[in-house]
Amino acid sequence: MKNFYEKEDMIETLVDSDRSRKAIKILNDAIKGLPSKELRFLELGCGTGEFLDRVASLDERLRVWGIDISKLAIDKVKEKGFDGFALDVSQQELPFREGFFDVVYLGDVIEHLLDPDFMISEVKRILKKGGLVVLTTPNLASWCNRILLLFGFQPLFSEVSTKKIFGRSGSKIVGHLRLYTLKSLKEFLSYYGFKIISVEGAYFHVFDPLLMSIDKFFSHFPSLSSIDVVVALSKKD
Question: How many CB atoms are closer than 10 A to CB 203?
Answer: 23
pLDDT tens digits for range 125-182: 999 999 999 999 999 999 999 999 999 999 999 999 988 999 998 888 888 999 999 9
Residue 187 has pLDDT above 90, yes or no: yes
**pTM exceeding the 0.85 threshold for the entire prediction:** yes
pLDDT tens digits for range 86-112: 999 999 999 999 999 999 999 999 999
Mean pLDDT of 182-197: 97
- pLDDT confidence of residue 4: 57
pLDDT tens digits for range 1-16: 556 555 544 445 566 7
Strands 39-44 and 62-68: parallel
Q: What DSSP letter does each residue of 34-65 carry, written as one string?
A: ---SSEEEEEES-TTSHHHHHHHTT-TTEEEE
- pLDDT confidence of residue 11: 45
- pLDDT confidence of residue 174: 84
Q: What percent of the chain has pLDDT over 70?
A: 93
pLDDT tens digits for range 54-81: 999 999 999 999 999 999 999 999 999 9
CATH 3.40.50.300 fits domain 2-234: no
- pLDDT confidence of residue 10: 46
Nearest CA-CA partner of 226 in 105, 143, 112: 143
Mean pLDDT of 195-199: 97
As a whole number, the mean pLDDT across the chain is: 92
Q: Which one-letter amino acid corresponds to residue 204?
A: F
From residue 110, alpha-carbon distances to 57, 82, 107, 137, 222 in Å are 25, 23, 8, 7, 17
